[in-house]
């Protein structure tokens, strides 16, 4: 397993999980925002967010913005990433 600054990090394949639409919905629900306000908050066109909800993958700046937004939602990054990388790093 790969270790970064003493934290374990799994090798990845660069493909978002199949349940990504469910994950972004959970982040949005935890934020308390409507879909249109969520789109504005992540700096994406509402039509693009709709495509994400139907399985399209955000890329580049859109994915970065989504992760930055998720970092302000309790447990948001873990919901998007599907793991507790940060918590694992704090354990040892």
Domain residue limits, the chain: 36-84
pLDDT band at 74 (very low <50, low <70, confident <90, very high): very high
CB 1 within 8 A of CB 8: yes
pTM: 0.74
Does 90 have pLDDT greater than 50? Answer: no
pLDDT, tens digit (0-9, with 9 covering 90-100), for 42-60: 999 999 999 999 999 898 8
Does 92 have pLDDT greater than 50? Answer: no
């Amino acid at each position: 397993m790969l270790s970064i600054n003493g934290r374990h990090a799994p090798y990845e394949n660069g493909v978002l999980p199949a349940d990504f639409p469910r994950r972004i919905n959970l982040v949005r629900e935890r934020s308390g925002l409507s879909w249109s306000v969520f789109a504005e908050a992540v700096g994406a066109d509402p039509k693009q967010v709709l495509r994400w909800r139907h399985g399209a993958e955000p890329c580049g700046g859109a994915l970065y913005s989504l992760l930055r937004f998720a970092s302000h939602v309790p447990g948001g990054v873990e919901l998007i990433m599907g793991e507790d990388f940060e918590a694992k790093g704090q354990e040892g």
